[in-house]
Amino acid sequence: MARILLFVLFSFAIAPNSWSQERFQRVYGGDGYDTGAEVIELADSSYLVAGTTGSYDPGMSSQIMLLKTNKTGHAQWTVTYGGQFADVAESMVEAADGNFLIAGYTETIENSYQVYALKVTPVGDTIWTRTYGGPQWDFCHQAVALNDGGFALLGQTYSYGSGEGDFYLLRLNADGDTLWTRTYGGAEDESGAAISLTNDGGFYLSGNTESFGAGKQDVYMIRTDAVGDTLWTRTMGGVEDDVCNGACTTSAGDLVVAGGTYNNSPDEFDFLIHRRGANGNSLNTSMEDGSTDEFWTDVIEDSNNQLMVVGWVNDSQWGKTDFLYRRYTLDLNFGGIGTSKGSNEDDRMFDVKTTMDGGYIMVGVTSGFLQRFDDVYLHKMDNNGITDDPELGLAEITVAGETFAVRFAPNPIESESSFLIDGMELLKQEKNGPFLLKVFDGLGREVVSTQLEDGRTQLSLSHLACGIHYYQFLSGTELLATGKLVKVGF
């Protein structure tokens, strides 16, 4: 485990509404690839985000990352976990004892993969770590916490089972010891994507199959009892591909799966939601035909007893992906809110939760905003799906446990602006410098480069072309913060 100074946090905040539903969008990361997999709200309305990072240790392939924010999304600390090879977080759940399980997979020295699980305290200290699996490739894609303090993990195994890949269900106790394992599948490839609890203490297992069903790949749904014995199996799909990415159990005990289908239009994936009763009978299906590839990645039942789904859609105008959210009734009719959001680069959401204030929190990945590699993207909106346009150009740096803002003021600008650094004196004590400000135009060309000595530097920027620019604040070659600067003309 490595506890690190959170050195780069581009963030933009939106004021809460009149009855204190927080709304914000924030981006976190470094110079590598950083992805958010799951977010959990804590009792004080702060958040834990589990994900994967390639930014914090250049000697590592990738590491599991745990990020703690306050209730407005300001980062407080980050912890990383893992070994020399790739470690990936896919899921996080709160245990019955108030600690947290992070689950995913780890690369071994033999170039295979094993299921990887670690239990941590609310401040990120490791309680235990475990690996599970055989000599081939084994993955965990989602975990659930159980009332006895243990866990159930669902993923895919190539080490065990009857086919190429099979559903892989592991039952663990609170100490991470294996109580039992099960595999499900046929002669071809199956992969478990989502696990949820049934109302009688069993499990819904959802994912994809190439062994059964009508098409190349179909949605594969299994209901088991509490010890993993199969009660029923179902497939859903047509002659082309149908994919499940997420699933949930409704308050009525039904199973809802979300993903994409290639059977609704001839040349792209379309949004797919399917609801099935506790006895396995098909209840509703929604397929939406857009003009580009579209996938749902997660689905929950919210505090309105409606379904909230998140996913992504290709932007046909820009050739990029935007994340999209939408609310549905349990009968899969449109529930009144839903739109696409994001930057001018790729943006995807992988997890959504309801929050105690009645809104929603979701986490995923963006390659926009900071104009670098992938970053963790955390998005908070109110119950009506409202999130105002972000303020541009605000960045934050956490130094010696304190968070300071870095910004241009004014921004947007006409000709002159000041670059402001809160906590500059403390920053000088912690960093060697020299402190540099660089500004780039929309094509990535450097148009300003200046050394900074004080917390306020007045700049004449009349030579900049009108439009959006991007700035970097550095200590030597270390990137401390980055953001947007808008030049306007009249």
CB hemisphere CA count around 211 (13 angstroms): 20
Cα three-residue angle 108-110-116, rounded to 5 degrees: 20
pLDDT at residue 232 above 70? yes
Predicted pLDDT of residue 370: 60
**Domains of the chain and any CATH numbers:** 2-395 (2.120.10.30), 396-487 (2.60.40.1930)
pLDDT at residue 8 above 60? no
Closest CA to 154 of 177, 187, 132: 132
pLDDT in tens, 388-429: 555 444 567 777 777 777 888 887 788 888 888 888 888 888
pLDDT in tens, 259-297: 999 988 777 889 999 999 999 999 999 998 777 889 999
Residues 473 and 222: their CA atoms lie apart, in Å, by 52
Predicted pLDDT of residue 9: 40
Mean pLDDT of 67-77: 87
Strand order in the sheet with 255-261: 242-249, 255-261, 270-276, 282-288
pLDDT in tens, 160-208: 999 899 999 999 999 999 999 999 999 999 999 999 999 999 999 999 9
pLDDT in tens, 318-370: 458 889 999 999 999 998 888 887 777 889 999 999 999 999 999 999 887 66
Q: How far is CA 74 from CA 3, 371, 404, in A?
A: 17, 20, 10
Q: How far is CA 245 from CA 218, 268, 297, 309, 311, in A?
A: 12, 17, 5, 11, 9
Predicted pLDDT of residue 32: 81
pLDDT at residue 4 above 50? no
Both tokens of residue 138? 């084994």
Identify any residues that bridge with 335 across adjacent strands, giving them in sequence order.
Answer: none
Mean pLDDT of 295-310: 96
pLDDT in tens, 358-397: 999 999 998 876 656 788 999 999 999 888 555 444 567 7
pLDDT at residue 24 above 70? yes
Q: Which residues contact 317 (CB under 8 A, 6 or more apart)?
A: none
Q: Are 472 and 479 in contact (CB under 8 A)?
A: yes
Q: How far is CA 470 from CA 11, 146, 424, 438, 485, in A?
A: 14, 47, 21, 8, 6
- Please write down the long-range contacts of 270-275, taking CB distance under 8 Å and 24 or more positions apart: 270/294, 271/295, 271/296, 271/309, 271/311, 272/219, 272/242, 272/243, 272/296, 273/299, 273/307, 273/309, 273/328, 273/332, 274/219, 274/236, 275/250, 275/330, 275/332
Cite the beta strand spans of 306-415 per DSSP E: 307-315, 320-328, 334-341, 347-354, 360-366, 375-381, 395-399, 402-409
Q: Are 487 and 410 in contact (CB under 8 A)?
A: no
Predicted pLDDT of residue 285: 96
Instruction: Give the dihedral sign, CA 456/460/463/468.
Output: positive
Average pLDDT, the chain: 88
pLDDT at residue 489 above 70? no
Residues 59 and 418: their CA atoms lie apart, in Å, by 38
How many Cβ atoms are within 10 Å of 119's Cβ, its own excluded? Answer: 21
pLDDT in tens, 418-462: 888 888 888 888 888 899 999 987 667 889 999 999 889 999 998
